[in-house]
Chain A
Amino acid sequence: MSLIALDRVAVRVAVDGRPAPKTLLAELTLRLTEQRIGIIGANGSGKSTLLRLLNGLVLPSSGTVTVDKWDTARSVREVRRRVGFVFTDPLSQLVMPTGREDVELSLRRSVRNARERSRQAESTLDRFGLLPLADQSIYELSGGERQLLALAAVLAVDPEVLVLDEPSTLLDLRNRELLRRTLAGLSQQVILSTHDLELALDLDRVLVVDAGAVVFDGGPADAVAHYRALCAAGLPATGAAADAARPVLPVLPVLPVLESPQRAPRPGQP
């Protein structure tokens, strides 16, 4: 198994109109050694940035990310050979019109012989039960089939680590379960971000990310409990607490506009 290490890594981006850069990920040091690792957190908390660091899609502003001693900033080819990446939306990942062609595309670099490439693509598709759909347009596949195909296309080149960015977000319950079982059966190290807390509970180690910082790192049950508490603390008050708070809320100035049946036309509009 590959050893992924983040050493004092931070990611910052310049934002127009702001003197100081915005911190997407505050400085962190991690060693990712477990077989199944999850990252949970709210939207925009920095989960995807953290995952993208692992195969060089995002480079650190400071610090280093290494995969088996290969620096993601210097040896991106070696890193990507070891670390496969699956995106949330498989349609943004599948490049070719059919599944067979997409898996063959993945193999182009490593398998030069066309016949052997075709044989290996069939074998990969068969492993995921996708062979009957191999020549169908990717647009005709269901969301679950597409996600499995994206997974197959990445696993065709046999990476040592599989990174998945919210792989179950666009899937229904049945396909989510199918994906969960598929991931559980993989020999690769799996690192994923997810909003599916059931999936997170299956993992060996879970990191909770909040506002660009890892705020919890430990077992899945404790991590999910921590995340739930974090979410509850950030929610607006409801029930009796909300009733108590209501008198202090300012009167919304937009209310008269909302109640008005017709809005005045803007200049230049009919």
Chain B
Amino acid sequence: MSGHGFLLANYVPGSSLLHRAPLWLKFLLVVGCGMASFLIVDWAAAAAALAVMCSLFLLSGAGVSRLFRAVRPVLPVLAAIGLLQWWQLGGPTAARIVLNVLVCIVAASVLTATTAVQRLLDGVASLAKPFQRFGADPERFALTIAIMLRSIPFIAGAYSDVRDSARARGLERNPRALILPVFITTVAFARQTGDALAARGLGEADTEEHAPPTAPAAGYAVP
């Protein structure tokens, strides 16, 4: 796969204040930014919040290029949203909406760039513990997050590969030549990932029947 675009920044090992900050505080920062995006009604305030988030990101030592890579994939979509909102609601509202989305993305990137994935998964598993009494498995919650983090760059990479091969065949303007192969590749990837997780015993229920074999298994399953 040639392209591995990633919406959020990968973990950057380090010992900055943000790296050492407790996970709950960083979670709170992301949740706070998400809520603030509904509350901030002034584009200048949104711009100030974005400046603060970018400064925090750079303080972690992750670098400008990583910051740019984290927001780059979403820029075309934001440009389209911004233009539509500008046409519908005017410049200040369009700027506020676009800046608020960027604040959320950079805040999430601060979390992922300064927190090792395993620590993130431990945090998700801890957060999900109260649901255990309802039969939920916290480890499955954590695994779901891990799979999501892995799948985003894969799908972006698959799209990049399909676009290249469509270009090579002169089909870059044919949406079917772009969408269908990405869809098929993604489904195949999901099946492979399911197989890989099953083979490693990940995501399985903690309880299962442990009876010795008494009769041949009925039916079959081919993943």
Contacts and interface: CB of A to CB of B under 8 A. Distances in A.
A59 B211 contact: no
Contacts of A11: 220, 222
Given A75-B210, A75-B211, A95 B220 contact: no
Contacts, number: 132
Contacts of B76: none
A59 B217 contact: yes
Contacts of A89: 192
B118 interface: yes
Interface string B99-114: 0000000000000000
Interface in A97-117: 97-98, 101, 104-106, 108-109, 114, 117
Contacts of B213: 64, 66, 69, 71, 74
Q: Which applies to chain A's interface (DSSP): helix, strand, loop or mixed?
A: mixed
B201 A58 contact: no
Interface residues of A, number: 55
Contacts of A92: 189, 192-193, 195-196
B193 A137 contact: no
Contacts of A63: 216
Contacts of B198: 56-57, 80
Given A80-B201, A109-B202, A62 B139 contact: no
B220 A76 contact: no
Interface residues of B, number: 43
B119 A13 contact: no
A39 interface: no
Interface string B52-72: 000000000000000000000
A60 B116 CA distance: 40
A117 B204 CA distance: 19
Contacts of A139: 1, 4
A104 B216 contact: no
A161 interface: no
A109 B137 CA distance: 12
A61 B220 CA distance: 5
Interface string B177-206: 000000000000100110111111110100
A188 interface: no
Given A74-B217, A75-B208, A89-B192, 7 more contacts: A11-B220, A59-B219, A96-B117, A97-B117, A97-B153, A108-B202, A117-B118
Q: Which 4 residue pairs are nearest across A and B when measured between Cβ atoms? A: A73-B217, A85-B199, A71-B213, A92-B192
Interface of B: 1, 4, 10-11, 13, 116-119, 121-122, 139, 142, 146-147, 149-150, 153, 189, 192-193, 195-202, 204, 208-213, 216-217, 219-223
